[in-house]
Structure 1
Amino acid sequence: MTSKFRHVALVGKYQSATTSGTATEQSRHILQGIADFLREQGCEVVLDAETALHTGLHSSFASLDVDDLGQHCDLGIVVGGDGTMLGIARQLAKHNTPLIGINQGRLGFVTDIPLNDYPQALLPMLHGEYEQESRPLMHARVVRNEETVFEALAMNDVVVNRGGTSGMVELRVEVDGRFLSNQRADGLIVATPTGSTAYTLSVGGPLMHPSIPAWLMAPIAPHTLSNRPIVLSDQTEVMMEVVSGRDISANFDMQSLASLLHGDRIYVRRSEHSVRFLHPVGWNYFATLRKKLGWNEGGY
């Protein structure tokens, strides 16, 4: 049976390969095996250019930069952890390229196929048997003196926080232009449902099912204990203005902007783009939570 997907982009975890020859060899071996498997199913395999370069596979496979992958390929397979997936998903979202995650990391909420199980999991998926879901992206921009000085997409969260040695940061927060509160804390997180299992989880925020059209806003170590996480509609625009504090930075998933100034405004709204994930038949979010968070260990 011929694969439903003819042109498959393969993206690997290679960052650790720059400091470890063993990691380089391991990554190359894993990606080579997955690529050979895909070819056996009738797929043309194209590697992300950075993956090919850092793993030494550029001489064995065609490679393209991420934007060209989005235009050329009808499926992306990402091998690594959630960090690897976040980086590529933001870039491929505008092309509406569906993504499958194979977990080579430790936790893996969105890279959900165990590395050792990929042949059994991928075979039916390549032939059209899969579960599909869509995850929203945030669009964030930093405005200084009425001019946008930085903008980025985020799949997990937008975080404004203080430097490591300075005091608290004070932020004026508005929702759709309406004043909400002045937040005095170590920082403030605005997260998607996908990001509810990331940073906001560690500061006491709730888990949100990915189908809920909402943002989660959670303070980091707030000065006032009545300052609690709040869930907002993802149709709103959240604005955070820097009122006071030193060494304040903004982080958009893995992208950072250091040295925010007093008066800078960070606007967060829902992006027009979403990320498409494909999962094996029978996948569900609650099973992922049980597995990744160790719920019901020793239970039925």
Structure 2
Amino acid sequence: MSATPAVASSIYNTIALVVRPNTAGIEDSVRDVLDFLKQSGYSVVFETETAEHLNMPDIPSMSAQGIGEKADVVIVMGGDGTMLGIARQLAPYEVPLIGINQGRLGFMTDIPRDGMLPVLAKILGGTHKAERRSLLEGRVLRDGKPIHIGLAVNDVVVARGAGSGMVELRVDVDEHFMYNQRSDGLIVSTPTGSTAYALSAGGPLLHPALGGIVLVPIAPHALSNRPIVLPESSEIVIEIKRGRDITVNFDMQTFASLTAQDRIHIRRSPHTITFLHPEGWSYYNTLREKLHWNEYPSGDGKI
């Protein structure tokens, strides 16, 4: 690792670290970041689960709520799943997030491990690009009473079990009937999630600045069922008409089991999350790097 870079005067004081557990070799990277932050004069805390997995008892720990109330910025060392989990918990507190990629794809954890300290120095010194992302909130109602409430950075997904048949869903938008759909399920996605499961199911890419909501059917029975982009002000109600072993999940991380006549009310959350990117960051660069837009198909590349 190169020498610790100097840090300019920072607008941040307390920095929280959230680290993906059970990642081989991650302790060395964590120690490098800790040494850098301490030498730069920052107060550092671990998120509670991070502290439980790392043998570094000299670093104090806080719950997500404590971090939201006390920390000025959060550094997430892991993959996009780690970022999704903590982002949902911190959304009500408006604490900005910085992502160092220890995973595979790294759409949200966009700082590579190699050379991370000079990049952190610049971001914490105020040289960065701040970007706000929207979330979805969903309420699952059974007999008119809520049984589950969740937030999603990427998507809310209603889907059948692996061994069951198609589900039948009724979808209403802003109290207007849209359609009855027979399919394997339905994805309701934010622009952030438009590069995740929704994209794999044939949905469109949405630039994060657009703020729309995407509905993408999963393997619909009728070929006329197509993805649609709705205004971000829309309220979507999905009613389970028929099916077995149906679940609704939020970012594939929190689940609720559903039965016939359950209704899921989905709308944009009043909360947002803020990512701090390196100077010069571009959404289009991310698409090229992660989705390989700049590569020709196999062959000689000639048209």
TM range (shorter): over 0.9
- Structure 1 position 2, deviation (Å): 3.1
Over the matched positions of the two proteins, sequence identity in percent amounts to: 53
Letter in 2 for 1:216: V
User: For 2:241 and 2:89, how far apart are their aligned partners in 1?
Assistant: 32
1:285 counterpart residue number: 283
Match of 2:39 in 1: 40
Q: Secondary structure at the match of 1:238?
A: strand
Q: Which residue is 1:20 aligned to? A: none
Letter in 2 for 1:60: D
Shift of 1:41: 1.7
The residue aligned with 1:206 is: 204
Q: What is the TM-score when the length of structure 1 is the normalising length? A: 0.94
The amino acid that maps onto 2:43 is E
2:16 matches 1:9: yes
Say whether 1:142 aligns with 2:140. Answer: yes
Alpha-carbon distance in structure 2 between the residues aligned to 1:37 and 1:81: 21
Match of 1:54 in 2: 53
Paired AA for residue 275 in structure 1: I
Normalising by structure 2, we get a TM-score of 0.93
Task: Give the 5 Å matches for 1:117-132.
Answer: 117-132=115-130
- For 2:164 and 2:204, locate their aligned partners in 1 and report how far apart those are by CA, in whole Å: 28
Instruction: After TM superposition, list the pairs within 5 Å mapping 1:1-300 onto structure 2.
Output: 1-14=8-21, 16=22, 23=24, 26-57=25-56, 59-297=57-295
Shift of 1:242: 0.1
Deviating above 2 A after TM superposition, structure 1's stretches of 4 or more consecutive aligned residues are 1-4, 254-259
Give the Cα–Cα distance (whole angstroms) in 2 for the partners of residues 83 and 180 of structure 1. 32
Q: Kindly indicate whether the alpha-carbon contact (under 8 Å) linking 1:2 and 1:41 is maintained by their aligned counterparts in 2.
A: no
CA positional deviation for 1:93:
1.2
Could you tell me how far apart the structure 1 residues matched to 2:86 and 2:255 are? 19
- Distance in 1 (alpha carbons) for counterparts of 2:134 and 2:256: 25
Q: Secondary structure at the match of 1:259?
A: strand
CA contact (8 A) 1:99 1:277 kept: yes
SS of the residue 1:172 aligns to: strand
Shift of 1:258: 4.1
Once the two structures are overlaid, the 10-residue window that deviates more, 244-253 or 254-263, is 254-263
Instruction: Give the drift of 1:4.
Output: 2.2
Q: Offset of 1:7 from its aligned partner?
A: 0.5
- Deviations, residues 110-142 of structure 1 (Å, cap 9, x unaligned): 111001121121111111111011001111010
CA distance in 1, matches of 2:256, 2:134: 25
How far apart in 2 are the matches of 1:124 and 1:28?
23
In structure 2, C-alpha distance between the alignment counterparts of 1:72 and 1:279, rounded to whole Å: 22
1:169 CA displacement: 0.2
**Aligned mates of 1:85, 1:255 — CA distance in 2:** 12
- Describe the shift of the 1:47–1:256 C-alpha distance in structure 2 as closer, same or farther (beyond 3 A): closer
Aligned mates of 1:141, 1:4 — CA distance in 2: 37
What displacement does 1:35 show? 1.2
What is the one-letter code of the residue matched to 2:42? Answer: C
**Stretches of structure 1 lacking an aligned partner (at least 5 in a row):** 18-22
SS, match of residue 50 in structure 2: helix
Q: Which segments of 5 or more consecutive residues in structure 2 lack a partner in the other structure?
A: 1-7
Task: Let me know the Cα RMSD of the aligned residues.
Answer: 1.2
- Output one character per residue of 1:184-241: Cα deviation in whole Å (capped at 9) or x when no partner: 1000000000000110111111111000120000000000011000000110100100
| Residues 3 and 43 in structure 1, CA contact (< 8 A), matched pair in contact too | no
Distance 1:91 1:256, change over 3 A: closer
Query: 2 CA distance for matches of 1:96 and 1:131?
Result: 16
CA contact (8 A) 1:249 1:256 kept: no
Q: Give 1:28 shift.
A: 2.0
